[in-house]
Amino acid sequence: MVTMSCGESCPYVPGRRYEDWPVDDPKGQDLDTVRRIVDDLDSRLPALLAQLVPSRP
């Protein structure tokens, strides 16, 4: 099993890529904290997408 930063576990699948970002759990947090978490993820996603789906010439 792979433990995610949110404390959840997911099954390990050979040949798959796993990213483990240190992300706070938004459950029970105030709106400003949740927005900060979402903004953090939004800032990471473009780089991840560029790695997963490279530009075509």
Q: pLDDT tens per residue, the chain (57 residues)? A: 444 455 566 677 777 777 778 888 899 999 999 999 999 999 998 988 888 887 766
How many domains does the chain fold into?
1
Q: Say if 18 falls within a structural domain.
A: no
**Residue 7 pLDDT:** 59
pTM for this entry = 0.64
- E strands, 1-57, in order: 2-3, 9-10
**Residue 11 pLDDT:** 72
List the structure tokens of 18: 């796993």
Q: Say if 16 falls within a structural domain.
A: no
Q: Say if 39 falls within a structural domain.
A: yes
Q: Say if 46 falls within a structural domain.
A: yes
Range of the domain at 38: 23-57
Handedness of CA 26, 32, 33, 39 (dihedral sign): positive
Q: Say if 15 falls within a structural domain.
A: no
- State the Cα–Cα distance between residues 18 and 36, nearest whole angstrom: 23
- State the Cα–Cα distance between residues 48 and 35, nearest whole angstrom: 20
Backbone angles phi, psi at 10, to 5 degrees: -135, 155
